[in-house]
Structure 1
Amino acid sequence: MNEPNSRTSKQRKRKSERLLNRLIFSIVLLVVVTTVILINIDMPVKQVAAPPEQQGETNIPTSEKTHEPSDVKEEEIKEPSKSTSQPIEEQTTSPGIVSKPEQDEDSIVIETIVDTSWEPIGTKQTGYHESKYDGKSIDWNEKKEAIAYATLFDVEDLIFWKIKNGGDEQRSIGIVSTFDKKHKYRVYLQWEDGKGWKPTKLEVLRTLDFEY
C-alpha cells in the first residue's frame, strides 16, 4: 500500500536535487562572469600605436621639412675656393702629407708641405735629358705642368713668375701665384729619367717681394 507514495516521494526528491543543481550551477556561472568583468574593468587599457601612415604626424627628416627662409643673405653663401689652407685640409685626410708651419713671421714662407703621394707627371722626352729654361720647349712646359700639379691649380690659372735651376740639371724651382695673387707658391722639382718632373716640396708664400 505504501509503494506509490514511496515512488512519488523519490520522484519529488530527484526533481528537488535537479533544481538545486541547476540553481548552484547558475550561481557559480554568475560568480565567474562577474569576476571576469571586474578583472577586465580593473586592467589598464593598452594603446596600440598606429602605423606611421595612420598617425597624426609623419616623421619627416629635418632636411626635408618645409621651413621658413633663413636670414642668411645670398651673398654670404660662398663656395669654398682653392686657398693656401687647401693643403692643410688635405693633411687631415691624407696621412702622406707632412705640413710644417713657419714659426718666423718675418719669413716669406708660411708653411712647407711635402706629399709622399706626388708622382712624376710623365714625359714625352726620350734619350739624354737636358733641362731647359727657354719658355717654349717640351721640358719647359713639363716643368710648368709639374708645378701646377703640386699647387692643385691648372696651368692656365697660374702666373709663372720664375722657373730656375734648383742646383743641378735634374732639379728646378718654380715661383707661381694665382692671377689675383691671393695664393703664392714656391715648388721644388726633381727629374726622374723616363718618368718626368716630380714635385718634392711646396712652400706657401706670404709675399712675392723677394729675389727669385
Structure 2
Amino acid sequence: AESESSESVETKETEPTDENVTEAYTGDWKPVETQQEGEHTTNFNDGSQDRIEIKKATANATGLDESAMIEWWVENSGEGQVVATVSDTGQTKNYRVYLKWVDNQGWQPIKVEQLKENDKN
C-alpha cells in the first residue's frame, strides 16, 4: 500500500539519466528532520544515523513503505549528495533516488527515477 503523505509534493518530469529509467521527476520534497548537528560528513555504514535518515527520505520520495523497502545500494554522488537504489520487497517497483544534505535540516530528495529493472541486485 502506498503511504499518503500529509502534504502533496509538486513534481515535474525531467530527463532520465540512462536507458534503464522509465520515468524521472524532480519535486519539492522537504528534508527529513535530522538528529545530526554541526559539520556533516556522510557515514555510509549500515545502521548509521545517515543511513537511517537517507532510508526515511527515500521512502518519502518514492511512496514505498519504509519497513518493507529494500535498499540495494547507497552511493556518494558528490559533496553532500547521495544516490540510493531501492525497491519494494517483490522488486516490482525499483527506484533510484537522488538526495542532498541540507545543513541543520537533513537529507532532501531532489530527484526520483523509476527503473525498468533493478540494476544493483
TM category (shorter chain) comes to: 0.7 to 0.9
Counterpart for residue 116 of structure 2: 206
The alpha carbon displacement at 1:96 in A equals 2.5
Higher strand share: 2
Deviations 1:88-138 (A, max 9, x none): xxxxxx682102476xxx81000101112x111110001111101101111
- Supply the AA of the counterpart residue of 2:43: K
Deviations 1:3-37 (A, max 9, x none): xxxxxxxxxxxxxxxxxxxxxxxxxxxxxxxxxxx
* Structure 2 residue 70 is matched with structure 1 residue 173: no
* TM-score, length of structure 2 as denominator length: 0.85
Q: CA RMSD in A?
A: 2.1
* TM-score, length of structure 1 as denominator length: 0.50
Q: Matched residues in 2 for 1:121 and 1:95: separation? A: 14
Q: Matched residues in 2 for 1:154 and 1:177: separation? A: 10
- Supply the AA of the counterpart residue of 1:114: T
1:108 equivalent among 20, 26, 32: 20
Within 5 Å, give how 1:44-193 maps onto structure 2. Answer: 82=2, 96-100=10-14, 107-116=19-28, 118-168=29-79, 170-193=80-103
Return 5+ residue gaps in structure 1 as ranges.
1-80, 83-93
Judged with a 3 Å threshold, the aligned counterparts in structure 2 of structure 1 residues 191 and 101 are, in CA distance, closer, same or farther, namely closer
The count of corresponding residues between Structure 1 and Structure 2 is 115
Return 5+ residue gaps in structure 2 as ranges.
3-7
| Secondary structure class of the residue paired with 2:85 | strand
Higher helix share: 1
The alpha carbon displacement at 1:208 in A equals 1.3
- Supply the AA of the counterpart residue of 1:111: E
